[in-house]
Each structure stands twice: as C-alpha cells, then as structure tokens.
Amino acid sequence: MQHIGVFCRKACTRLYPDCHHPCRNKMCGEDCGDCLWPIGDITLPCGHKYKNAKCHHNKNIDKVLCHKQMLRKLPNCEHKDLIECHVSIYDFQCTEKCGGRLSCGHSCMSTCFECQNLSKEAKQNPPFYSMGQIVRSNYGKCAQKCERNLFCGHICKEECHVGRPCKPCKNTCNVSCMHSKCRLDCAEPCSICAEACRWKCKHKGACNLPCGVPCNRLPCNLRCEKRLYCGHQCFGLCGKP
C-alpha cells in the first residue's frame, strides 16, 4: 500500500529483494537504504579482511576502502611509510625528514615532499634516478639552532646563520652578588653595585671598595679554618667560596 500524505512511523517489515534480509532501524514510511544486516568479516579484493561488515559492503565490495596499514616503498624517494591499503602511493606525500646536506653543513629538516617540490620548481625538467626517484637538489631553510658559545658564556639560540655574526645575547644576565641580581638582558651593561664589599677574613682583613668593582686585596691563600658538617676542617683555601 502506498502512503500518500501520511507518514507511517511503524517499524519497517520489508525484506531486501536481493539478499532477503529484513530492513533494520527504519520506519515504514522511510526508504530502506543500504542493507545493514551484519555478516561478519569479509575478504576484500586486496586480500585483507574487513571486520564486522554489513550486507551492503559485500554487495559493493569493490567500493569498500581497505584501511589496513602497510609499510610501502614510495615511488619518488628512498623512503618507506605506513600507508593505508586503499591509498595510492602516487598520491601520498612523503613526510620523512629530507636529510640532504645543506650549504651550512647541517642536515635538511624539511619534509621530503617539500624538497621534492622545491627541486621540481627550480628546474623545468628535474633529473630523475634510473628508478624514477626525484633528485632533491633544492632544500628548505635550515631549521637547526646555531648553538655557538657566545663571549658571555651563553649559547646562541638563533636559527642557523653561517657567515653572519650572532645577535646580541637575549638571555637574562647572570651577574649577581650578595646584595642583588641583575635583571637586564645579558647584552646590556649592568649597573654596578655600590654596596660595601663584604669580602673579608681574619688573615688579610676587609676590602674597602664598593661591591661592584674589583677588590683592593688579593685572595687569601691560607687554609680555611671553617668546619664541615662532619666536624673536620675545610681543606680549601680561605679566599675560595
């Protein structure tokens, strides 16, 4: 019976004509759509199993996408990657690190497909290996950190800049004394502490200059007379911290 102007909300009881499975989860007034009857695991044309398949998967098995991940050799480079079975290796972009040697001496950290594209754009007819791999001759910008030692003792954190001097150090200044600590950038000149120097000992007396300038007395080279927590005498020199 055709429902005209009235939508029947009763559960559908129709059978699919080709598989004879009952319609599931539909109302009588709705179209049955694909057969959702569970049929267990099925074998796809690629040979892999598709788990918990529905009837309509088996009816249209050539359209079912296989999501099994496989380690596959990529056509345009030397790398391999885990790629779902249904994905063509010719449509896959290699995300491995390029690893080519840059002019600065570092290894290229760009992705392989980025350097493939840069190499193809640089030449109208890019060279290929005999196996069809794209020769990566152009690379992205070096992403390594400089890490050279600066005169202040800090390490340069700028990106690689071979042939150019390092920028002024932006680290926090590590100059401090018992009175205060400098909070300026390392490259900026510190303010000199004007407090009285507290360096003194009973052997050579006290320094009479401000804390921020070199002392007017030499370090004491006599043995330190302080006691360690174990009770023994310190074996260092009096003038050492």
What pLDDT score does 82 carry? 93
214 three-state secondary structure: coil
Q: pLDDT tens digits for 100-116?
A: 898 888 899 999 999 98
What pLDDT score does 57 carry? 93
What pLDDT score does 40 carry? 92
On the question of pLDDT at 85 being above 80, the answer is: yes
On the question of pLDDT at 62 being above 80, the answer is: yes
What pLDDT score does 222 carry? 87
On the question of pLDDT at 205 being above 90, the answer is: no
Average pLDDT, the chain: 86
Distance (Å, rounded) from C-alpha 96 to C-alpha 108? 11
- For the chain, give every domain's residue range: 1-66, 67-166, 192-241
Q: Give bridge partners of residue 227 from the DSSP assignment.
A: 233
What pLDDT score does 196 carry? 87
What pLDDT score does 1 carry? 52
Beta strands in the chain (DSSP E): 38-43, 49-54, 69-73, 80-84, 200-201, 205-206
How much of the chain, in percent, has pLDDT values that exceed 90? 26
pTM for the structure as a whole: 0.55
On the question of pLDDT at 171 being above 70, the answer is: yes
Query: C-alpha angle with apex 172: 166 to 177, nearest 5 degrees?
Result: 125
Per-residue pLDDT band for 4 (boundaries 50, 70, 90) equals low
Of 43-57, 126-140, 207-221, the range with the lowest mean pLDDT is 126-140
189 three-state secondary structure: coil
